[in-house]
C-alpha cells in the first residue's frame, strides 16, 4: 500500500503550486528548481514528474527565461486522485476491482470471491478520499491547523 516517491513528490509539487502567491491572485507560477529546493527533491527527477503531469493536462508551462509551471485548472478542480493516478497508476489494490484498469484475477468465480469483495471496499474507501480531496481542500486544511495549533 505504498505511495511511490514519484507520487509523493508530484503531490507535494502540486500542493506547492496550489498555495496562493504572495501578492498576486493570478495562478501561481513556479520553476522546477524553486519547487525542488523548497521540497528537497532532486530537480532532475522532479522534471520528469512535472512533465508527466503536464502531458496529462494537469499543468501548463511556459518555456524560456522567466518560465515555469502553473496549474492548468483552479485548485479546487484538481483532486489528489487525479494526480495519484497519473503518477502511480490505479488506486485499486488488485486489478479485478479497478475502475481504470480492470483485468480478471483468475479466481473461479469473481462474483463470490471474498478477497475481491473486501479489496473492492478498500478501493472505494481510498478513492472516496482521494477523489474528494482537491488541492484547495489540502491548502485549507493546512491553514486551519496553522491557525489552530494543537487541534
Q: Decide: is 136 part of the binding site for its own copies (CB under 8 A).
A: no
CB 14 within 8 A of CB 135: yes
Q: Which of 51, 52, 56, 94 binds its own copies (CB under 8 A)?
A: 94
Neighbouring CB atoms inside 10 A of 72's CB total 16
**Residue 71 binds to its own copies (criterion: CB under 8 A):** no
Among positions 21-60, residues that touch its own copies (CB under 8 A) are: 39-40
Angle, in degrees to the nearest 10, between helices 80-88 and 5-18: 150
Question: 62 or 77, CB closer to its own copies?
Answer: 77
**Least distance between DNA and beta carbon 88 (Å):** 7
- Going along 34-79, which residue ranges are E strands? 59-62, 68-71
Lookup result for grid cell 493570478: 26
The span from the CA of 141 to the CA of 51, in Å, is 27
Q: Are 121 and 75 in contact (CB under 8 A)?
A: no
Which one of DNA, its own copies, none interacts with residue 126, CB within 5 to 8 A by kind? its own copies
What is the nearest approach in angstroms of DNA to the Cβ of residue 91? 14
Binds 50: which of its own copies, DNA, none (CB < 5-8 Å by kind)? DNA
The contact set with DNA (CB under 7 A) reads 4-6, 9, 31-33, 41-42, 44-45, 47-48, 50-51, 54-55, 61-69
Amino acid at each position: 500500500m505504498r505511495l511511490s516517491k514519484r507520487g509523493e513528490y508530484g503531490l507535494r509539487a502540486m500542493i506547492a503550486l496550489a498555495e496562493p502567491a504572495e501578492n498576486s491572485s493570478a495562478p501561481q507560477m513556479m520553476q522546477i528548481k524553486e519547487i525542488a529546493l523548497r521540497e528537497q527533491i532532486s530537480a532532475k527527477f522532479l522534471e520528469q514528474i512535472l512533465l508527466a503531469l503536464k502531458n496529462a493536462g494537469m499543468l501548463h508551462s511556459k518555456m524560456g527565461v522567466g518560465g515555469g509551471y502553473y496549474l492548468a485548472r483552479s485548485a479546487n478542480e484538481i483532486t489528489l486522485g487525479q494526480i495519484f493516478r497519473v503518477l502511480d497508476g490505479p488506486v485499486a489494490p488488485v486489478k479485478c476491482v479497478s475502475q481504470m484498469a480492470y483485468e480478471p484475477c483468475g479466481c473461479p468465480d469473481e462474483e463470490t470471491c471474498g478477497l475481491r469483495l473486501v479489496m473492492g471496499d478498500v478501493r472505494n474507501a481510498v478513492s472516496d478520499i482521494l477523489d474528494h480531496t482537491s488541492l484547495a481542500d489540502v491548502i485549507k486544511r493546512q491553514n486551519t491547523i496553522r491557525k489552530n495549533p494543537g487541534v
